[in-house]
Structure 1
C-alpha cells in the first residue's frame, strides 16, 4: 500500500513540476521530484528486480522500507506544497531592467573561475560560488531582445557540456541544465508538448551519460588526449550495438544511480541493531558546522559524508569515495521511524519558511530570482546529508546578500524595485 501511495505522490509532483514550467521557477518542485525519484521510484524498481550486485541492493523488505520512507516523504512535501500555493508567478518579473549588469556578472564569474585555481583552500568555496555568477549573466542575456545576446546563454550550455567531458564529471551539466531549462521556459513559454518532448530528451541524455560514464571516466582520468566528444559517441555506440540496453543487468546498473534507497535501507538494517541511534547528534553537528567557520570550529567535519555513512550503514568506503546518507536516511539514523518522520516534516517546514523569506526579499530585489539556482544548488539534491545542505544554503545566501550590498554600494547598480 505505501509503495503504491508513494508512486502516486511522485506522479503528482512530476505533474506539478511540468505544469509550473513557464509560469514560475519550480525549484521546490524539482527538489521534491528528485527526492521522490531517488527515495521511492528507484527502490520500487529495485524491489522488482533480481539484484545480483554484492552491495547495491535493498537491505530490508519493501514493507519495512516503504512504511517509513513514504510517510516521511509526504510529511516533507506537505509544507512545501502549502507554501507554493501562494507563490508569485515569476513570469511577471521584468528581467530586461537588469540586462545592463548581465555581462558584468558574466565577467565576474569567469574571473572567479580562473582565480579559483590559485586561491588558498580556505577561500575555495567562496570562489566556487562567485564562479557560478557566469551562469546568472548568461541567464539574464537569454531575456534580451538581441539574438547576439542570447548566444551567451547557449554558449553557457556548450561550456557546461565541454567542461563535463573534459573533467568526466557530469553533475554540473545535469543540474545547471535543468535550472537553465526552467528559465528558458519562462522566456519562450513552450507548449505542453514541447516541454514533455524536451524533458524526454533530457532524461534520455542522462541515461546515455549513466551508461558510459564509468568507462568514459576511466579513459579521461587515464590520460586520454584525443577528441573527447568522439570518445563519448564511440562508447555510446558500442553500448547500443552490443545490445546493452536490452540486457537485464543494464536496467539494474542504470537504476543504481537513481536508487538512493539502497543506502537508506542499509541504515535501517544496521541501525539500531548494530549501531545506536544518533539521537540528534549529527543534526546538531550539521547546524553548528554550517553556522561557524572552520577557524572557530576546528573539529568541523570535512564534507563528503564518509564517516557518518560508514558508522550508520556498516559499509566500508574506499579512501576517495564520497557518499551521503541523504537527509531522510540521516533522519532515521538519528530518531528512528516515528520521530524520523516528524523530523522530515520539520525539515520541509524550514525549507518552506526559507523559501518564503527569499521570495519576500525578491519583491524588493527581483534580480535575486536569478540567483536561486546558486542558493539551492546542493539543496535540491536527494543524496546529500544535512551538513552539506545547510552549509551550502547558508553560505550561498550570505555570499549572494553580500554581493547585492556591494553591487548597490560600490557599483551603483539599481537593484531595488521602486513602487
Structure 2
C-alpha cells in the first residue's frame, strides 16, 4: 500500500485541482506508479520488465492524457471511449509483464551478473568472435538495408552483445572494444537517420549494467540520469526532422549519411537553447510518443466500418517459426497492413507506424482485448524468466537478453515484430552457441 500512496495522492491532486476527468487523472497516476517502480528497482535488479511497463504507460496513458488536455481535437475518439479500453488493457498487460513479481529479487539478479563476470574472465575469446560477427552484420546492413534479419540485423546486434561481454569480462582491451561498438552505432545513426536504436540500446545498457555496479545507483544519480535523458531526447527530436529532410529520398533505399550536417544541427541547437527549451517544442516531442492516436484511430473504425478480425493477430505467433525462404510471401513486420485495414491514417514508404500489440488486441477481440493484453504481458515476461532459468547453467545467456528484447521495449510496434524479435533472436543465438561449440569456442 505504501507504494500506491504517492500515485493515489497524485490522482486526487489532478482530479480535484484541474479539469481532468477521473480516467485521465488515473492514467497519469498509473504512469507515475510505473515510473516509481522502475526507478526503485533500477540498479537493484535487472529491471527489464519494469522498464517495458513504464515505457508502455508513457505511450498509452501519460502522453494521450496530456494530449487530451492540450490538443483534444488531434485524438480520434473522445477521452472516455479511449480510456474505457486502454486503462483495463494496460493494467492487464502490466500485471502480465511483471509476472506477479515472483522472480524479482535483488540478490538473485546480482548473483547472475557475478556469475557472468566469473564465467567470462575465464572465456574471453567469445567477446572477440561476437565483435567480428557484429561488424560484419553492420557492413551488410549498410550495403544491403533490406537484407534478411538473419544476415543483417541479428549479426549486427551481436556487436552490442560483444560489448556486454567485454564489460563483464574485464578484458584489458575492453575500452577499445566498447569504443568501437559505440562508434559503429553512432556511424549507423548518422548514415540511416534512425535514432531509435541509439536510445533503446542506451536504455538496455543502463538496465543490464547498473545492477553490477558495486555501490549501486543513488536516487540523485538516477534523477540526474533521467533529466539528461529527457534533454537528449529533446535535442534529438529538434534535429531529426531537418536532418531527414536533407538526407532522405522518397524510398527507404534513398538515404545517405551527412556527418557534417549532423554536427552543424547539434551545434546550432546547443548554441541556441531556446530552440529546445520551449513549450511548443516540448509538446511536439512528447506527442511523437502518442500511441493513443493509432489505438484511437482503430477504435473509431472498428467495428463501425471494419469488422473485428476475430483472432487473426494470433497467427503472428506462428509466422516467425517459418523461414522466409520456405514461405516467400510471409507477412512483413512493420504494421503497414494493420494500419491500412483498421485505420484511416496515412503511411508512406519512408515511415512506419503500428497499432501496438494492445491495439491489435482491440481490433481482433474488442474489449476482449483486455484478456489478450494479459496474455501478451505473460508472453513477454515468460521469455525473460526462461532466460534467467537457462543462465543458471550458462551465465552468459543473461547478456543475450538485451538482443532478444530490443524489439519489445516500446509499444510503437506490433505483435509480429515483438514476438519475432524474441523468437528470431533466440534461434539465431542458439545457432551461434551450437556453431561455437563445434569450433571449440565458449560463448
- Residue 344 of structure 1: how far off its partner (Å): 0.6
Residue aligning to 2:382: 353
Residue aligning to 1:47: 68
Residue deviations 1:254-275 (CA, integer Å, cap 9, x gap):
1221211011111111111111
Q: In the alignment, does 2:90 pair up with 1:90?
A: no
Q: TM-score, normalised by structure 1?
A: 0.89
Deviation >6 Å, runs of 4+? none
Residue aligning to 1:293: 323
- Residue 324 of structure 1: how far off its partner (Å): 0.9
Residue aligning to 1:221: 248
Residue aligning to 2:38: 17
- Residue 164 of structure 1: how far off its partner (Å): 1.4
Residue aligning to 2:361: 331
- Structure 1 distance, partners of 2:87, 2:103, is 25
357 and 244 in structure 1: CA distance in 2 versus 1, 3 angstrom threshold: closer
293 and 341 in structure 1: CA distance in 2 versus 1, 3 angstrom threshold: same
1:57-76 aligned within 5 A: 57-76=74-93
Residue aligning to 1:105: 130
1:193-208 aligned within 5 A: 193-208=220-235
Give the alignment's Cα RMSD to 1 decimal: 2.5
- Residue 244 of structure 1: how far off its partner (Å): 5.9
Residue aligning to 1:316: 346
Which of 365, 371, 393 aligns to 2:400? It is 371
Residue deviations 1:88-138 (CA, integer Å, cap 9, x gap):
533223333214122222122113322455679664444311221111121
- Structure 2 distance, partners of 1:307, 1:27, is 30
- Structure 1 distance, partners of 2:435, 2:90, is 39
- Structure 1 distance, partners of 2:219, 2:276, is 32
Residue aligning to 1:230: 263
- Residue 384 of structure 1: how far off its partner (Å): 0.6
Q: TM-score, normalised by structure 2?
A: 0.84
239 and 280 in structure 1: CA distance in 2 versus 1, 3 angstrom threshold: farther
Asked if the contact 2:191–2:257 (Cα under 8 Å) also holds between the matched residues in 1, the reply is: no
1:20-419 aligned within 5 A: 20-50=41-71, 57-87=74-104, 89-92=108-111, 93=113, 94-96=115-117, 97-99=119-121, 100=124, 101-116=126-141, 123-145=148-170, 148-188=173-213, 189-221=216-248, 225=258, 227-237=260-270, 240-241=273-274, 243=275, 245-247=277-279, 249-284=280-315, 286-337=316-367, 339-413=368-442
- Residue 235 of structure 1: how far off its partner (Å): 4.1
Asked if the contact 2:127–2:165 (Cα under 8 Å) also holds between the matched residues in 1, the reply is: yes
1:143 counterpart SS class = helix
- Structure 2 distance, partners of 1:121, 1:302, is 12
- Structure 1 distance, partners of 2:193, 2:239, is 11
2:52 counterpart SS class = helix
Asked if the contact 2:150–2:428 (Cα under 8 Å) also holds between the matched residues in 1, the reply is: no
Runs of 5+ unmatched residues, structure 2: 1-21, 250-255
246 and 30 in structure 1: CA distance in 2 versus 1, 3 angstrom threshold: same
- Structure 2 distance, partners of 1:147, 1:83, is 41
Residue deviations 1:218-264 (CA, integer Å, cap 9, x gap):
233376756244223244247634x56434x4343212212110111
- Structure 2 distance, partners of 1:29, 1:405, is 32
142 and 48 in structure 1: CA distance in 2 versus 1, 3 angstrom threshold: same
- Residue 405 of structure 1: how far off its partner (Å): 2.1
- Structure 1 distance, partners of 2:324, 2:177, is 37
Asked if the contact 1:141–1:152 (Cα under 8 Å) also holds between the matched residues in 2, the reply is: yes
1:364 counterpart SS class = coil
Count of paired positions? 406
1:227 counterpart SS class = helix
Asked if the contact 1:39–1:260 (Cα under 8 Å) also holds between the matched residues in 2, the reply is: yes
Runs of 5+ unmatched residues, structure 1: none
